[in-house]
Amino acid sequence: MTMPMPSPHSALTLAIETSCDETAVAIVRGSSPPELVANLVYSQAEIHAKFGGVIPEVASRNHLRKLPLLVRDALSTTGISSEDIGLVASTYGPGLVGPLLVGLSYAKGFAYGADAAFIGINHLEGHLFAHRLAYPDVSPPFMGLIVSGGHTLLIRVDAYGRYTTVGTTVDDAAGEALDKVGKKLGIPYPAGAELDRRAQIGNPTAIVFPRPMAHVGFDFSFSGLKTSVMTYLRKQPHADPNDVAASFVASVVDVLATKSVEATHRHHLKNLVVVGGVAASATLRTHLEEASSRRGIRVWVPPLALCTDNAAMIAAAAAFRHYEMGQSHNLSLAPEPNLGLDVDPAFRSSGVG
């Protein structure tokens, strides 16, 4: 006998995010719109700071240690039991294969033990669903700027689940360039927040760094800019680090703002949604607001807790895909470290229920 699917308005989804160095667990109720019940994140930033970047094996071991504790806390603090969970989700790509495997394996085991449905979620799609959590009334179509870690993407979102890549990263993503320049300036990993703070102090016009590909298509390239900063620091070792930070950040956000606003305008859209860790930058938000207001475009950025990697966005995407699109995966789903967004093989394979 087939059991009826729970109502999209009351069903509970438990989600896990372990694509990099944050161990995150969240629970949402319903899907239209999703109601956030619990959102827990354990950051490994201090552990990896001494290495100057994420060590995948270290990240995997810490996910193994912390994930069961976070799941226990999410359930106990909300009074929810495992039997109440109708859907279990985990990020299955893109990301580091070891950390992804930890989250996927735990989610599959939990789903099997709780007799719940299971689904794997694309991390990049998850970032777009952070917007749905924060602003459920601002629906597609819109242009999405995803600036997260190794990804800088412009995505046209005609509807949730229907994506077209407008621009992508051809070498270093914005987040990668920020971390590498920050390391050169003596800022511990991750450098984004401290670089942004220094950018508020320094003079953004003190040094003229290039704006790579600012007016050439919608793809992004930050490798040349990073090299330009490194070359400048070798030649000017006593330069004011705050001025270097401010001038560098100004170049990055100028490129991001110019391309994303122009892409939104060219596609005749009125809303620009900015998501991912770099979206937390106050400097980026200011540049985007200034550039978009001249074109009659509205910029939407989720709260800080939903910009950085979290499981709430994964839960929201999972609830949508399962309860509104009827999708699920079998327990053989494998991690996909290089998973794209507009063509997601998992939803075109026999692994879809």
- Cβ–Cβ < 8 Å for 309, 96: no
- pLDDT confidence of residue 5: 52
Helix H or strand E encompassing 320: none
Strands 12-17 and 162-167: unpaired
Cα separation, 225 vs 6, whole angstroms: 51
- pLDDT confidence of residue 214: 83
Helix H or strand E encompassing 318: helix 312-319
pLDDT tens for residues 97-155?
Answer: 999 999 999 999 999 999 999 999 999 999 999 999 999 999 999 999 999 888 999 99
- pLDDT confidence of residue 343: 53
Question: Shortest CA distance to 59 belongs to which of 338, 309, 332?
Answer: 309
Q: Which residues of 149-167 are buried (b: 16+ CB within 10 A; e: fewer)?
A: bebbbbbbbeebbebeebb
Average pLDDT of the chain, as a whole number: 91
Q: Which of the four pLDDT bands, split at 50, 70 and 90, describes residue 3?
A: very low
Cα separation, 152 vs 248, whole angstroms: 17
pLDDT tens for residues 280-329?
Answer: 889 999 999 999 999 999 999 999 999 999 999 999 999 999 999 999 99
Whether the per-residue pLDDT at 349 is higher than 70: the answer is: no
Cα separation, 300 vs 138, whole angstroms: 9
Please state, in angstroms and as integers, the Cα–Cα distance from residue 236 to each residue in 233, 244, 249, 283, following that order.
Answer: 5, 10, 18, 25
Give strand pairing partners of 163. 157
CA 26, 29, 33, 37 dihedral sign is negative
- Cβ–Cβ < 8 Å for 311, 124: no
**Amino acid making up residue 194:** E
Cα separation, 298 vs 131, whole angstroms: 13
Domains and CATH numbers, the chain: 12-128+307-348 (3.30.420.40), 140-301 (3.30.420.40)
Supply the DSSP string of 115-127, one letter for each residue.
T-EEEEEEHHHHH
- Burial label for 126, CB within 10 Å (0-12, 13-18, 19+), is buried
Q: Which of the four pLDDT bands, split at 50, 70 and 90, describes residue 336?
A: very high
Percent residues over pLDDT 70 in the chain? 94
pLDDT tens for residues 73-102?
Answer: 999 999 999 999 999 999 999 999 999 999
Cα separation, 66 vs 332, whole angstroms: 24
Whether the per-residue pLDDT at 185 is higher than 50: the answer is: yes
- pLDDT confidence of residue 2: 37
Q: Which of the four pLDDT bands, split at 50, 70 and 90, describes residue 353?
A: very low
